[in-house]
A and B are shown apart, each in its own frame.
Chain A
Amino acid sequence: MRGRVVLEVPAKAEYLLLARLAATSVGRSAGASEETIADLKLAITEAVANAVRHAYPEGTPGRITVELVTAPERLEIVVSDTGRGLTEADVALPDDDGPAEGGMGLSIIRAIADEVELTPGPDGQGTRVRFACVL
């Protein structure tokens, strides 16, 4: 079943649940195995949590967009925001104090999904993480 679902939420931690539920629902509709769905949820969690943490300065309102596109044999997800764009924290390597959250998040996505791509958003604003899972 081909389709595109777009979820847009405020950039707040409590809405991470909705992104995970969207992934669960779309994944099941697409016939993904429970294992793949668990991976999808984990990858989406990392991407959205990263945006919640870094995209917008403390206290300013901002939104996060999660696109889920199903195609035969494949589910593609794009998590984007229109915030301050890629920062050091997003791509930081772990240091003396242990793994930087952003860097670890990306490592996890890379460990799980295929075609992971991290780019600035449209017009150079914000960040866009795209990844896909083979079904």
Chain B
Amino acid sequence: MASDDQRALLVAYLQEGDARARDRLVEDMMPLVRSLANRYAGRGEPTEDLVQVGAIGLVKAIDRFELEKGVELSTYAVPTIVGEIRRHFRDRTWAIHVPRRLKELSMRLARMRDELSAELGRSPTVAELAEAVGVDEEEAIDALEASKAYAPRSLDQPYDEDEPGRVPGLADEELGYESLERGSVVRQGLDALDERERRIIVLRFLRGMSQSEIAAEVGISQMHVSRLLRKALEVMRGRLEEPEVTA
């Protein structure tokens, strides 16, 4: 819409109370609202809801617009539209839902990682995982990272359940644990691990098994192997990392 026409409509609405003029303005500026709503899309709120909320912001901006100020309506409206969308998230999603959503997504991704590995005969890419689960890559990366936090008991996920004491299979000597130099940091570090963690370290670094092979051998998910490996390496360095703050 040409600037003059837009101005005429604003005058008609703001000075003469012509409601149809406002409708016309809103209609004309919906692409802006959609464009802004799309920037917040994919966060767990349907885009159409965001568009509607953004439209409310647009209407507010039009109502508050001051003709004398000489600024373009679209520039003026952006903060109000964005503000409404953000408030929508604040009221509905962020404080409560993000941690839960991330955790649920982590579980789905962990399961999908094992499924796709079996199906493809190799570890899936992030793109493949994201598509399989139906989220964008960034969200997948975030959730995959969250899986690696040293989950305290309360966050144990059913899929990853396995009894702490259960360590089937070969004795440490057979796995080559004894072959490590006694004075080495790694040997000292291994001594600090529990049986299962030690077994996983030995399988990975002495036997050279891949994480997926270890997962199959020990009977847990690859995500769990990843998490245990990470934790074990940190313990071995004599430093237990704080769990990542993911929520």
Contact = CB atoms under 8 A, between A and B. Distances in A.
A–B touching in complex (CB under 8 Å): yes
Interface of A: 17, 20-21, 24, 28-29, 31, 33-35, 38-39, 42, 45, 93-96, 98-99, 103-104, 107-108, 110-112
Contacts of A96: 1-3
A94 B72 contact: yes
B25 to A, nearest CB: 14
Q: What 6 A-B pairs have minimum CB-CB distances, sorted nearest first? A: A111-B79, A94-B74, A107-B78, A34-B94, A34-B98, A35-B94
Interface in B91-129: 94-95, 98-99
A50 to B, nearest CB: 13
Contacts of A38: 40, 43, 86, 89, 94
A34 B75 contact: no
Interface stretch (B9-17, B31-39, B181-189, B195-203): B31-39
Contacts of A24: 142
Contacts of A17: 137-138
A29 B2 CA distance: 47
Given A33-B94, A93-B72, 14 more contacts: A17-B138, A21-B138, A28-B245, A29-B245, A33-B95, A34-B95, A34-B98, A35-B86, A35-B90, A39-B86, A99-B32, A104-B32, A107-B79, A111-B83
A18 to B, nearest CB: 10
B82 A108 contact: yes
A11 B190 CA distance: 44
- Do most interface residues of chain A lie in helix, strand or loop, or is the interface mixed? helix
Nearest to B5: A96
B83 A98 contact: no
Interface residues of B, number: 31
Interface string B35-62: 1100110010000000000000000000
Interface of B: 1-3, 31-32, 35-36, 39-40, 43, 72, 74-75, 78-79, 82-83, 86, 89-90, 94-95, 98-99, 137-138, 141-142, 244-246
- Do most interface residues of chain B lie in helix, strand or loop, or is the interface mixed? helix
B89 A98 contact: no
Given A33-B94, A38-B43, A42-B40, A111 B78 contact: yes
B83 to A, nearest CB: 7
Nearest to A36: B94
14 contacts: A21-B141, A34-B94, A35-B95, A38-B40, A38-B43, A94-B32, A95-B3, A98-B74, A103-B75, A107-B78, A107-B79, A111-B79, A111-B82, A112-B86
B56 to A, nearest CB: 16
B82 to A, nearest CB: 5
Contacts of A107: 75, 78-79
A7 B158 CA distance: 38
Nearest to B29: A98
Nearest to A42: B39
Nearest to A28: B245
A93 B94 contact: no
A94 B94 contact: no
